Each structure stands twice: as structure tokens, then as C-alpha cells.
């Protein structure tokens, strides 16, 4: 379970699909490269800890910065109580 201040990647992906459908997630050696639909600049999330793949968790601050860059912060906050 994600602790306070952290969010699970599966939850982030689900919320992002609601707020900005069509984002492409590519797993690098160190980071998830998340490309918004339409060709804007990518956001690079840490792979996270406390679990493998999308079960891992990342700090909430990263998700807030991703949401602000993709201009979906209000929607993501509505989808993710912890944000």
C-alpha cells in the first residue's frame, strides 16, 4: 500500500487516462518516459520503490509536477484524493 505522500503508478496511470487519454508510457532503465498525446514534451517519472513495475510508488510531488506540465492538475486532483 502506498504511504502518505506517495502514489502508486497504477493509480497515476488510471487517473491520467481519464484526464489526458492516450498518453504513452515507455519504461527506460531508470525512468518512465510519459509522452502526452499530440507530441508535447515528455515527463520522466522515477521507476519508484516498494514494488515492481506499475505497482511501485512515487512521491506525490512528482505527480503534481507531471499534472501541471500536462495542464491537468485539477482533474488529477479530482481523480486522486492523495494528490
Partner 1 sequence: MVPRLPLLFSFHQVVVGNGFVAGVRMRGRALLEVERIDGHEEQWITGIAPVGIAGGGSDRSVACTEFRRAWLEVLFDLAATAGSLDEFRELCGPFLSSQQASLTTLWDEAVASIRREHYVDPSLQSADADVEVAYEVVDLSHLDADANEVETGLQIAA
Please report, as ranges, the residues that interact with partner 1 according to CB under 8 A. Answer: 4-5, 28-31, 33, 40-44, 46, 59-62, 64-65, 68-69, 71
* Nearest distance, CB of residue 58 and partner 1, angstroms: 11
For partner 1, the closer CB: 44 or 74? 44
Provide the minimum distance between the beta carbon of 18 and partner 1 in the complex, in angstroms, as a whole number. 21
DSSP-derived secondary structure letter, 39: S
For residues 1 and 29, which CB has a smaller minimum distance to partner 1 in the complex?
29
Which residue's CB is nearer to partner 1, number 22 or number 61?
61
CB of 14 to partner 1, least distance (A): 21
Residue 22 contacts by C-beta under 8 Å, 6 or more apart in sequence? 36, 37
Q: Are 2 and 48 in contact (CB under 8 A)?
A: no
Q: Label residue 20 exposed, middle or buried (CB < 10 Å: 0-12, 13-18, 19+).
A: buried
d(CA 4, CA 7): 8
Amino acid at each position: 500500500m502506498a504511504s502518505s505522500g506517495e502514489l502508486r503508478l497504477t493509480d497515476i496511470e488510471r487517473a491520467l487516462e481519464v484526464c489526458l487519454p492516450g498518453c504513452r508510457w515507455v519504461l527506460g532503465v531508470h525512468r518512465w518516459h510519459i509522452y502526452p498525446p499530440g507530441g508535447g514534451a515528455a515527463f520522466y517519472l522515477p521507476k519508484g520503490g516498494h514494488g515492481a513495475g506499475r505497482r511501485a510508488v512515487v512521491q506525490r510531488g512528482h505527480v503534481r509536477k507531471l499534472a501541471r506540465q500536462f495542464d491537468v492538475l485539477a482533474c488529477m486532483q479530482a481523480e486522486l484524493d492523495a494528490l
